[in-house]
Amino acid sequence: MAFGLIIIGDEILSGKRADQHFPKVVQLLGARGLQLGWAEYLGDDPARITATLRRTLASGDVVFSCGGIGATPDDHTRQCAAAALGVPLALHPQARDRIEERITDMAREAGITADLQAPDNLHRLKMGEFPVGAQIIPNPYNKIPGFSVRGAVGEAEAEAKSGAHHFVPGFPVMAWPMIEWVLDTHYSSLFHQSPRLERSVLVFGAMESTLTPLMESIEKQFLQVKVFSLPSVGNAQSRAFIELGVKGEPAQTAAAFACLQAELDRLGSEYRHT
């Protein structure tokens, strides 16, 4: 089971708005000893959203989906989630209550009495139409909830595939506390279960092809460690370098890093610690 992220919206793909969800979700997971396994960006294309959700719902991963759960013509995520699951949309009773609370609050702030049967208020209830069987995600910003669903897996797969999809708005001020609530409410048992260590050095004047045999040797020797290299071409103010490092299980990572440094010393490489 991995943690995944889906970010939906034409405005992201067109560059009209810059995505803020990816770095924030990485931060929220990292603070809890978790890490993101994958991420995908999708436009407001119902067929593509449905196909993607059908695939990811069958994966068993824990997935956060940001965007497209409103009730305007360019919002398709609720409908696509239902289609991917093969179930209808239905007004969730708790979602209806929260939305009506929001309508009442807004009317009170404006000094008027809310008419819950007014056409625009009845339309707002569409934001609470979720796939049958969904659970709500509280929204502390304006009470309009998101929703969670589990993948449509058979009984034989249910034990192994325990993931779920959690759908939140595209607005960061709403989405981020909702994601935190999901993590802290449903996944606290997974926090800090796999201690990890990362160590690296900056290697100057070297080529990745020269360092590749060292990297391959370390990964063969330390099976719970991944080696990484991140080249920088440099500029007028800094020299080109390669950030060379290891990450993974702490004890093996420490041993692998010592091995890496020893081999760099043997090669006469110029490097410094990050």
Total domains in the chain come to 2
Whether 125 and 37 share a structural domain: yes
Which residues have CB under 8 Å from 215's CB, separation 6+? 227, 229, 244
pLDDT, tens digit, 9 for 90 and up, residues 96-144: 999 999 999 999 999 999 999 999 999 999 999 999 999 999 999 999 9
Residues 9 and 143 both lie in one domain: yes
168 neighbors 174 (Cβ within 8 angstroms): yes
Q: Quick one: 183 and 202 in the same domain?
A: no
Give pLDDT tens digits for 10-40: 999 999 999 999 999 999 999 999 999 999 9
pLDDT value of position 157: 41
Share of the chain above pLDDT 90, in %: 91
| pLDDT of the residue at 158 | 42
CA distances from 118 to 96, 98, 122, 234, 254 (A): 15, 17, 6, 62, 65
pTM assigned to the model: 0.87
Domain co-membership, 32 together with 137: yes
Query: In CATH, what number is assigned to the domain containing residue 142?
Result: 3.40.980.10
Q: How far apart are the first and last CA of the chain?
A: 32
Report the alpha-carbon angle 230-235-239, nearest 5.
65
Average pLDDT over residues 198-215: 95
- Report the 10 Å Cβ neighbour count for 266: 9
> Of the residues 173, 190, 207, which one is the last residue of a structural domain?
190
Distance from C-alpha of 19 to C-alpha of 171, rounded to nearest angstrom: 10
pLDDT 10s digits, 34-89? 999 999 999 999 999 999 999 999 999 999 999 999 999 999 999 999 999 999 99
Under the banding of pLDDT at 50, 70 and 90, the label for residue 238 is confident
20 and 92 in one domain? Answer: yes
pLDDT tens-digit profile of 239-257? 999 999 999 999 999 999 9
pLDDT the model gives residue 95: 98
Residue 163: the pLDDT is 76
Specify whether 27 is located in the same domain as 152.
Answer: yes
Write the CATH number for 257.
3.30.70.2860
- Give the closest residue to 94 by CA, choosing from 146, 172, 163: 146
- Cα 238–239–243 angle (5° rounding)? 105
Domain hosting 224: range is: 197-273
Last residue of a domain, one of 170, 190, 210: 190
Domain boundary among 190, 205, 233: 190
Same-domain check for residues 185 and 215: no
β-pair type (62-66, 3-8): parallel
